Amino acid sequence: MRAPARALSKTVTMAKMPISKLPLPPSSHILTHNLTPDPRTPEPATFLHDVISKSPSIQRRARLVSPEAHFSYVNPMPLEFPYEVSPPGPQEGVYDKGEYIEKWLSDREAKVPSDDKVPLRGHVSVARNQKRQLIALSETCINDCLPLLDFGDAFDDLQPALVPSTLNNVEGTSSSAEAQRARQGLVDVLGGHVSLMSPDPSDTCSNGFAPWSLRYSGHQFGSWAGQLGDGRAITILVTPHPADPDTTYEVQLKGAGRTPFSRMADGLAVLRSSIREYLCSEAMHALGIPTTRSLALVYLPEVSVVRERLEKACVTTRVAETFIRIGNFEAVSPPSGSMFFFGGGQQAANYEALRILGEWTALIFEVARRNAKMVAAWQAYGFMHGVINTDNVSIAGLTIDYGPYAFMDVFDHQHICNHSDQEGRYAYNQQPDMIRYACHSLLNSLAPLIGAEVAQGNKAVQKGWADDVSSETISEWRASGIEVAKSEMQQIIESTYSVEYANAFRRRLALRRVNPSDTTTIVQALLEIMENQGLDFHGTFRKLAFFRPDMLKGDDTDDTTILEAFIAGLLSGTPVPERLATGKATEEWLRWLNQYATRIESERTGPEWASEADFDEARKHAALAANPRFVLRQWVLEEVIKKVEADPDNAKHVLAKVMKMACAPFEPWGREGDAPDDELSEEEREERRYCGLGPRGMLGFQCSCSS
């Protein structure tokens, strides 16, 4: 399966290169060379020379693509929509309005090639040149995924600071012309201004290359929605990691204009939602949760976007080994008998397209295992996705499509982070069931293929396997496939989730020995205390990192004072102390801490910590390395968004600092400890504030799906 296999940590010392010169992988690793294109955009040469030049509206009109298609070639074109096409003047002598509109669109397509003779030549528009401002660039994503990328002097103007006025003024500092060209070249590509294409076969790209958007369908809030697809996402590049050529990364623009899958939408993304996805992707990675990655934000201040209010556009660049979702399989093998659509309709099943897609990507049990592991990590770190529709579930087990997400503040196992989710379908405690639902939807789509293979002695089906086969036979194969795989898939999900969930919480509590009773006697008991007392989820775990069993001895006044102070610190994690029955809460904590201390002491002389010189110190450091000091809370996101919307030139430094904190969440930001505020620098005081629970009115803040 084309999916993430492992982290790559080898140091890469090869020369840096601009994005247009990053190497392409062999054809076997390029999605468009292995799956089936939309017949309206059949291959890169036709796409560039005919579609873009003569009938570009094919890319921009919402339509049901042909049933066999997995993707459609699409050029980035971030323009306000509906398009404002100025009427022709009398001197232009236009008689065919359709031709005039096609020419208007074509002039704004990136189709004019550069003189640079590289495998992927940059193509630009003759009539579109909006202002593009790089406001964020992720160093961690570059290091992990694109270590050969030359970003020029981009970081010179993106220094991190919560208090930008304390920065040394580097704007206008001279850098080499080469560094400036590299930075501007990157901004032009990631802002959707320059399109990278190789329309004709070459030594480095045997089948040519052009950007594309994927077709997929899906269930939204449990109802069949029909065709959805990449309505504003366009993959612009795929490149191998230099440390492992078999590991390839797709580079995708989100918010770069309409595609055939945009339906009634504009294909754009607003600044606020772009900031949310940019920060959270890297924050999740830092917490060890599988996720797509974020590379950059390019702000388009001259492109307006209409949502609940008039906003400005922004293009997010995200990176992953694959962006294929469960919905890609539902598109070519939809549920039988589905008649109700939230979307714009659904094509008939195409089982040959299912075979091709299945051979390229999906091992159903591996998909189930990866997603069970992912959702266990969500639960352990209090992450709520908000919209776990089947089209938002990755076959690689990556967190994808960051919309109305949230991290848990005060623990509430029924918390709903999406204010559009009236029934709580995607509430925190429902997330494991929603991943199970998505995996069963994948099984339902793959079941005819599995059943056909069973029918012929567990041999792989061949091209044309379902041609001229009756619907009754397809139904029989589907039923057989579900019967064969359902039980094992369910067992994989349950066992993987149970193990990963317990292991994650053990890490957070610095326990190394596997004890089956930990989940109920330690973890669930702790979560119940947090919920009953209204305590901050992450803050409580961070404070428990400093607990030592000897605090409970109570042999002298000092011990008693230390324990009382520790419990008082735990109770300070409530935003409403006036509602807390302190005496009862203290008794609950004493009972739990005694049980926790007994569990800790059971490992003191065991082999799990034998290599550590100081057991208590080793445990504390292990706990601090698993429990974030900084959490990307809703109030932090809202504050950063407002600052960037009001003053992007200065607030981009705040954005960079928040990204830095999100990428190193376990560091003791703001001089964690008892140092009084007046001993801190202005920057450290802001760090400390950003690590806090935040305003009471922002606790449990719900976002909308509007982005």
Residues annotated catalytic, as ranges = 391
Give which of 600, 599, 594, 538 is closest to 567, Cα–Cα: 594
- CB 195 within 8 Å of CB 211: yes
Residue 225: is it exposed, middle or buried by C-beta count within 10 angstroms (0-12/13-18/19+)?
buried
Measured CA to CA, the distance from residue 405 to residue 403 in angstroms comes to 6
- CB 266 within 8 Å of CB 80: yes
Residue by residue, DSSP assigns 237-303 as EEEEETTEEEEEEEEEEESB---TT-TTS-SB-BHHHHHHHHHHHHHHHHTT--B-EEEEEEEEEEE
* Beta strands 212-214; 71-73: pairing state: antiparallel
Give which of 616, 626, 637 is closest to 707, Cα–Cα: 637
User: What does the radius of gyration of the chain's CA atoms come to, in whole angstroms?
Assistant: 27
648-663 helix and 634-646 helix, angle to the nearest 10 degrees: 150
End-to-end C-alpha distance for the chain, whole angstroms: 31
Q: Calculate ∠ Cα 132-135-385, nearest 5°.
A: 115
Lookup: tokens for 386: 């908000």
- CB 249 within 8 Å of CB 24: no
Q: Tell me the three-class secondary structure of 474-507, residue by residue.
A: HHHHHHHHHHHHHHHHHHHHHHHHHHHHHHHHHH
Q: Tell me the three-class secondary structure of 119-159, residue by residue.
A: CCEEEECCCCCCCCEEEEECHHHHHHHCCCECCCCHHHHCC
Q: Tell me the three-class secondary structure of 640-676, residue by residue.
A: HHHHHHHCHHHHHHHHHHHHHHHHCCCCCCCCCCCCC
Query: 112 forms bridges with which residues in the sheet?
Result: 124
- CB 290 within 8 Å of CB 374: yes
Measured from the Cβ of residue 44, the count of other Cβ atoms closer than 10 Å reads: 23
Measured CA to CA, the distance from residue 620 to residue 599 in angstroms comes to 15
Block residue for tokens 């011990």: 559
Measured CA to CA, the distance from residue 102 to residue 55 in angstroms comes to 6
Block residue for tokens 């998505």: 438
Measured CA to CA, the distance from residue 643 to residue 641 in angstroms comes to 5
